[in-house]
């Protein structure tokens, strides 16, 4: 019987399960037990569709997407799953009659510790859209026991503690021990004679680790399609225990593999561990896929007919040599057959042009972790050089495209050469990849390159995060936008000049600001005015994202307010949320400065009615769902050319915030959609930035000496009211000046001040601001990840839908 068919059936099933598992009644049960029972019921209800989808994929030989990513920043699943299954109201009302508040149960769920920033959130949005559109997908990630880290703000600094998201188990996962595989690390490579007389390669004396999958159901929006996110965890091998180390040391090695996301790469041990994690992920996933394939086919040369592998950034690139190794060493295929499979089945998404983020691994590391993969990469590189020579590729281009140079493996170069598709994630980003970063590859293989502008799942980020706004939109344009956002949402633009709708949109925004203000008061004991402009920048802290420029502007405002009696501003609340990587000292010092400035401003009665600064601790998906609907201004101020796309810009736009940004990443496409009058753009263009990098012509000291605003703010790093020790923020000054203002904070500062003044002026015309907000909402349909996925399906993956006849 369907346990969610009506309230009566639901209540009976809930009470029965609570008694069976915990021997408890509703009155005597703990809230954690109630949450666990509801989670199990939702998971089990989705299992029916989960099984049917898997059965259909196998019976009809459906091509399936295997999406490899080191991150899947899923957020909480309870509300999302209930809504997508169409059973939220039954559960909510049934629980109410049992005296249980569903919102309190939802708050019991920890954000899954499977990601950190935009890369992982994008992967999560993609899974939601792929499932909601009805395509078959399996995400692959590591089951990180302690996530990235939990951020604690203490004594004006960031501290990192383990994110114990699995401490109460994870109700939405199912352990699948029978699907475990063995992953080999290290060892030596030996040649041997095969039965057919040919030479073969095998790895001996390797350390074996059992990779155990935990499957999480990914539920499509009311279409009876449930896909899988497979999380791999390391356990001791049952058949190949190490002979030359103690079992205790072996267990330590295992624990490290699935301990946490992005180990500290400031040490050699940390860097090696990162590489081990990457290999563990791709080897586990590929072995599982091949084993499943061989239950329905016998010839691995047909693998591309059944699977396409999307590599999300450079972290999973070892899938290329590992697939070659598995086919040749484990299944007896020759080089040409294995290479043909790789070239037809693997696609690569690039997410950055930042040199430090384009991974390069020392060959000695690969020799330690996966020596056979290194041999294969060396042979790929040799054959690539032969190909380039035969095509008379210029020597300078050949050097730029080398997969191995200076004893390092350049993973992006390997990915571009081996993959059949290489995509950027916004139009500007892709143009830079083709014309700057990988221009030599583009000249050689122009057919591989394509652009797929990122998107976000509008169901989570608008329908569920901002239900009153969603209901207002539905009341005017109908509900087709739930599943056709890119086609339907533009209809809302018809109401941009409607004073009734304008008031309703602004009233909803005010309610959301009240909720955020309440959270800030409860968590930080800071009073913020919901009538002030909520100016918000929430994202991973990195120098190129320029949280520092935002802060410099706040410092500039404060200094003018306290020194110029006639200077007044419209009340502003500046809100930050960001984590700095534990070894990223500069980023952590910027957080210190934000906190120090906030402490001064929020406690200065002369300015606190005009200006407040809030740093929200431990920013993550669930907090984003509270913060984004409350934003008036969306700070998207990265140095032009540096942000591949950005996705928070899209979430803010969907919720009616006005973008204050540079012409960078997807801001370019936002600008194209809303026009000059509904966005505030400032700063250098990407062409200007790239020209300065290539040709020089900019001197940070000239900017410092010629601009009094710049000089005042920079000097305050030594003698401002936020400095308790003179050297405390010297690092920030030195980082900017000694590196010639790498990210052009000083160069763009005056333009940024003027843009902020424009924002203030625009906001005071409430009618026009509401119109701008409605236009942004209406034009945000393009940024649904549903649209992005359909483009991938058409151009790259070539999938067919499941479940259409069910």
**Cα separation, 199 vs 54, whole angstroms:** 39
539 is catalytic: yes
The answer to whether 658 and 773 are in contact (CB under 8 A) is: yes
540 is catalytic: yes
515 is catalytic: no
Secondary structure (3-state) at 680: strand
**Given the residues 143, 259, 351, 589, the one annotated as active site:** 351
**Given the residues 143, 224, 572, 651, the one annotated as active site:** 651
Place of tokens 């703010």: 713
651 is catalytic: yes
546 is catalytic: no
**Given the residues 11, 458, 540, 771, the one annotated as active site:** 540
Instruction: Identify the burial level of 465 via C-beta atoms within 10 angstroms of its C-beta, where 0-12 means exposed, 13-18 middle and 19 or more buried.
Output: buried
CA-closest candidate to residue 635, choices 558, 567, 547: 547
Secondary structure (3-state) at 145: coil
The answer to whether 796 and 347 are in contact (CB under 8 A) is: yes
Buried b (16+ CB within 10 A) or exposed e, 293-307: beeeeeebeebbebb
Q: Which residues contact 801 (CB under 8 A, 6 or more apart)?
A: 133, 134, 135
Secondary structure (3-state) at 404: strand
**Given the residues 349, 430, 647, 784, the one annotated as active site:** 647
The answer to whether 553 and 756 are in contact (CB under 8 A) is: yes
CA-closest candidate to residue 797, choices 450, 533, 493: 450
**Cα separation, 521 vs 516, whole angstroms:** 9
CA-closest candidate to residue 337, choices 326, 348, 352: 326
**Cα separation, 455 vs 118, whole angstroms:** 11
Sign of the alpha-carbon torsion through 89, 95, 98, 104: negative
Q: Would you state the structure tokens that stand for residue 282, as one six-digit string?
A: 């791709």
**Given the residues 539, 612, 747, 771, the one annotated as active site:** 539
**Cα separation, 500 vs 497, whole angstroms:** 9
Place of tokens 């996110």: 229
Q: Would you state the structure tokens that stand for residue 341, as one six-digit string?
A: 């499979």
**Cα separation, 213 vs 181, whole angstroms:** 9
The answer to whether 93 and 123 are in contact (CB under 8 A) is: no
Q: What angle do CA 227, 233, 234 make, to 5 degrees?
A: 150
Q: Which residues contact 771 (CB under 8 A, 6 or more apart)?
A: 496, 497, 502
DSSP state of 420: S
Catalytic residues: 351, 539-540, 545, 647, 651
């Amino acid at each position: 019987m369907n346990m969610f068919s009506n309230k009566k059936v639901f209540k009976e099933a809930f009470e029965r399960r609570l008694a069976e598992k915990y021997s408890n009644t509703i009155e005597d049960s703990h809230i954690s037990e109630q949450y666990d029972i509801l989670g199990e019921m939702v998971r089990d209800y989705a299992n029916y569709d989960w099984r049917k989808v898997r059965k259909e994929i196998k019976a009809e030989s459906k091509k399936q997407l295997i999406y490899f990513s080191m991150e899947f920043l899923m957020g909480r699943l309870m509300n999302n799953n209930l809504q997508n299954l169409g059973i939220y109201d039954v559960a909510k009302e049934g629980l109410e009659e049992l005296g249980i508040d569903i919102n309190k149960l939802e708050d019991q769920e920890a954000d899954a510790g499977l990601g950190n920033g935009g890369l992982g959130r994008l992967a999560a949005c993609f899974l939601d859209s792929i499932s909601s559109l009805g395509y078959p997908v399996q995400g692959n990630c590591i089951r990180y026991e302690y996530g990235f880290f939990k951020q604690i703000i203490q004594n004006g600094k960031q501290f990192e503690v383990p994110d114990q998201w699995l401490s109460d188990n994870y109700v939405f996962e199912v352990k699948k021990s029978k699907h475990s595989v063995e992953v080999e690390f290290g060892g030596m490579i030996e040649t041997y004679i095969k039965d057919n007389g040919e030479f073969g390669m095998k790895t001996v004396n390797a350390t074996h680790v059992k990779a155990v999958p935990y499957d999480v159901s990914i539920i499509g929006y009311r279409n009876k399609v449930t896909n899988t996110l497979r999380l791999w965890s390391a356990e001791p091998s049952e058949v190949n225990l190490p002979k030359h180390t103690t079992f205790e040391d072996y267990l330590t090695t295992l624990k490290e593999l699935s301990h946490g996301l992005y180990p500290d790469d400031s040490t050699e041990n940390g860097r090696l561990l990162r590489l081990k994690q990457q290999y563990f992920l791709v080897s586990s996933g590929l072995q599982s896929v091949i084993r499943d394939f061989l239950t329905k086919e016998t010839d691995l040369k047909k693998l591309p007919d059944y699977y396409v592998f999307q590599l999300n950034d450079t972290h999973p690139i070892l899938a290329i040599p590992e697939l070659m190794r598995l086919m040749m060493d484990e299944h007896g295929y020759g080089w040409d057959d294995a290479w043909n499979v790789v070239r037809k089945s693997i696609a690569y998404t690039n997410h950055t042009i930042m040199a430090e983020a384009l991974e390069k691994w020392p060959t000695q590391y690969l020799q330690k972790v996966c020596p056979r993969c290194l041999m294969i990469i060396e042979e790929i590189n040799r054959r690539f050089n032969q190909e380039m020579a035969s095509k008379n590729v210029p020597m300078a281009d050949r050097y730029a495209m080398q997969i191995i140079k200076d004893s390092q493996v350049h993973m992006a170069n390997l990915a571009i050469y081996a993959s059949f598709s290489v995509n950027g994630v916004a139009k500007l980003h892709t143009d830079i990849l083709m014309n700057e970063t990988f221009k030599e590859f583009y000249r050689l293989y122009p057919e591989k390159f394509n652009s797929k502008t990122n998107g976000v799942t509008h169901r989570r980020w608008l329908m569920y995060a901002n239900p009153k706004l969603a209901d207002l939109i539905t009341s005017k344009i109908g509900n087709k936008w739930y599943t056709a956002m890119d086609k339907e949402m533009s209809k809302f633009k018809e109401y941009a000049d409607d004073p009734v709708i304008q008031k309703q949109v602004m009233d909803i925004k005010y309610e959301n600001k009240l909720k955020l203000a309440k959270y800030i008061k409860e968590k930080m004991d800071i009073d913020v005015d919901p009538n002030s402009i909520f100016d918000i920048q929430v994202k991973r802290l990195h120098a190129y994202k320029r949280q520092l420029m935002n802060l410099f502007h706040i410092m500039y405002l404060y200094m003018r307010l306290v020194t110029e009696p006639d200077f007044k501003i419209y009340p502003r609340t500046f809100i930050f949320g960001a984590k700095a990587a534990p070894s990223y000292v500069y980023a952590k010092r910027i957080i210190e400065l934000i906190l120090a400035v906030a402490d001064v401003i929020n406690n200065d009665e002369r300015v606190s009615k005009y200006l407040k600064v809030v740093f929200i601790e431990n920013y993550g998906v669930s907090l984003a769902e509270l913060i984004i609907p409350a934003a008036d201004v969306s700070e998207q101020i990265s140095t032009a050319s540096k942000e591949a796309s950005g996705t928070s810009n899209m979430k803010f736009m969907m919720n009616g915030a006005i973008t204050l940004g540079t012409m960078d990443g997807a801001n370019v496409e936002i600008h194209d959609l809303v026009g000059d009058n509904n966005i505030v753009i400032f700063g250098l263009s990407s062409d200007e930035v790239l020209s300065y990098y290539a040709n020089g012509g900019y001197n940070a000291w000239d900017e410092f000496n010629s601009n009094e605003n710049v000089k005042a703010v920079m000097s305050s790093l030594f003698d401002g009211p936020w400095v308790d020790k003179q050297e405390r923020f010297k690092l920030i000054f030195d980082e900017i000046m000694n590196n010639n203002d790498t990210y052009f904070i000083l160069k763009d500062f005056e333009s940024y001040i003027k843009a902020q003044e424009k924002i203030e002026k625009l906001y005071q015309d409430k009618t026009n601001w509401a119109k701008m907000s409605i236009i942004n909402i209406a034009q945000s349909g393009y940024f649904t990840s549903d649209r992005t996925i359909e483009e991938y399906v058409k151009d790259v993956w070539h999938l067919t839908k499941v479940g259409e006849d069910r």
